[in-house]
Structure 1
Amino acid sequence: MLLKEYCAENYTCLPAAIANGASRIELCDNLSVGGTTPSTGVIEESLSYAGEKEVPLMTMIRPRGGDFIYNDIELRIMETDLIEAKKLGVDGVVFGCLTPNNWLDEEALERLIAAAEGLQITFHMAFDQIPVAQQYEAIDWLSEHGVTRILTHGGPNGTTIQENLEHLRELINYANHRLTILPGGGITAENTEDLAKQLGVNEVHGTKIISLPEKDAE
């Protein structure tokens, strides 16, 4: 059965998304900038509802929009937010840290991965900023450090998911079940099943992978 991870902005559409088939939630704030850490209150209420429905909840850990190059203060903020989310009982966390030359910020990632011990970890679409030739090495590093999945569009912003299918297949084959390659970006309720079949995956991600009643989708 296809697992549909719905990217929820705050609590607002979460109940409707679960009622309409979301089987995992990625909880964010500020989707207009790609998602940031939601508040403690939002996490708490979302966890309460999702828990009743037995739907796992992943929480975004990102202190701001913009790039994925974080200074020491921002990393302390991320670590604190992660620890608080863990205390609340989230199933997993979502983050990504890069260096100025678009490689994995290994030191920052090791710090956050250590704080997330016992949780599922998703490395988010910062992955798509890594040069294609280095993405395979990044998969090696992330899998060796216990990351559960990588969320990727398979190409840069502005490309369609259909344009990136070949590269996504290459990433999926290379990962070889060491971690999950989670396709996202441009996946909708209309094309979800077809894209999953073309890629041979059983998990997909997006803000539009669930058909919501119009009043809830606004």
Structure 2
Amino acid sequence: MKKNQLEIACFNYESAIIAQQSGAHRIELCENMNLGGTTPNSILVVKVRESLHIKMHVIIRPRGGDFVYSDEELIEMKQDIKQYKKLGVDGFVFGILKDNGKVNKKQNKELVHLAHPLPCTFHRAFDVVKNPEKSLEDIIECGFKTILTSGQGINVTEGIWALERLQELAGDRIQIMPGGGLRSSNIKLLQEKLDYTFYHSSAITDNTEMANPEEIKELLNFL
């Protein structure tokens, strides 16, 4: 039987431990919440990997800002994927666009190939693409397994209709993972519209970068 699952975006070691202890199915490890999440340093990756038995995906994003990367930044992303594969992570999260707002298929394919056989998620760069339906097909062609998106809304509640449409178009070819302002206060609304999937939340409920164990448990109550 299919069932919904929960991924927690963790910006530090403590949040990763909280996520596991609170019953999350997977974490996305990153740093710099104020930048929207960037590649975590290798010391943090090793420390979290050694402490977790749940799955751990790592974001590969060398800086905040846009999702158009220089040749030097692309080399850095490739080196991070090579290194973190050796450290036993379970998957990668990234997304590269062109200046015109289209998916950069060439560069994304290079990273997906490098990450193989680990699964890759195309992150919220999707929320700024010019043509979501064409971009969906391009991302599938690149070999990604999941798209993390708010449905191009400010948050998942605003993007709910787009999320529903994307899930219909995707079918079983790729997983659409709602994320962006997802909390226990609005997850039920999404579940009423969406098919079974992974849900993505930082579960942060205050001005810190720390996941709230009660919020994670509350989210899980709705799954």
What TM-score, normalized by structure 1, do the two folds share?
Answer: 0.89
Q: C-alpha separation between the residues in 2 aligned to 1:200 and 1:101?
A: 32
Structure 1 residue 175: deviation in Å? 0.3
Give the aligned residue type for 1:93.
Answer: F
User: Is residue 189–residue 211 contact of structure 1 (8 Å, CA) maintained in 2?
Assistant: no
Structure 2, unaligned runs of 5 or more: 205-210, 216-223
In the other structure, the counterpart of 1:26 is 28
Structure 1 residue 192: deviation in Å? 2.5
In the other structure, the counterpart of 1:91 is 90
SS of equivalent residue, structure 1 residue 12 = helix
TM-superposition CA deviations, 1:1-47 (whole Å, max 9, x none): 32110000021211112111211100001011010110111111111
Q: Answer with 65-74 or 107-116: which moved more.
A: 107-116
In the other structure, the counterpart of 1:41 is 43
Q: Answer with 16-25 or 188-197: which moved more.
A: 188-197
Q: C-alpha separation between the residues in 2 aligned to 1:149 and 1:98?
A: 16
User: Is residue 103–residue 139 contact of structure 2 (8 Å, CA) maintained in 1?
Assistant: no
User: Is residue 20–residue 211 contact of structure 1 (8 Å, CA) maintained in 2?
Assistant: no
In the other structure, the counterpart of 1:2 is 4
In the other structure, the counterpart of 2:134 is 137
Is 1:151 the counterpart of 2:144 in the alignment?
A: no
Q: C-alpha separation between the residues in 2 aligned to 1:83 and 1:65?
A: 21
SS of equivalent residue, structure 2 residue 77 = helix
In the other structure, the counterpart of 1:212 is 213
Q: C-alpha separation between the residues in 2 aligned to 1:71 and 1:202?
A: 33
Structure 1 residue 85: deviation in Å? 0.7
Percent identity between matched residues is: 36
What TM-score, normalized by structure 2, do the two folds share?
Answer: 0.87
In the other structure, the counterpart of 2:81 is 82
User: Is residue 196–residue 203 contact of structure 1 (8 Å, CA) maintained in 2?
Assistant: no
SS of equivalent residue, structure 1 residue 74 = helix
In the other structure, the counterpart of 2:181 is 186
TM-superposition CA deviations, 1:148-195 (whole Å, max 9, x none): 100001024xx3422211111000000011000000011113333442
RMSD: 1.7
Q: C-alpha separation between the residues in 2 aligned to 1:199 and 1:17?
A: 24
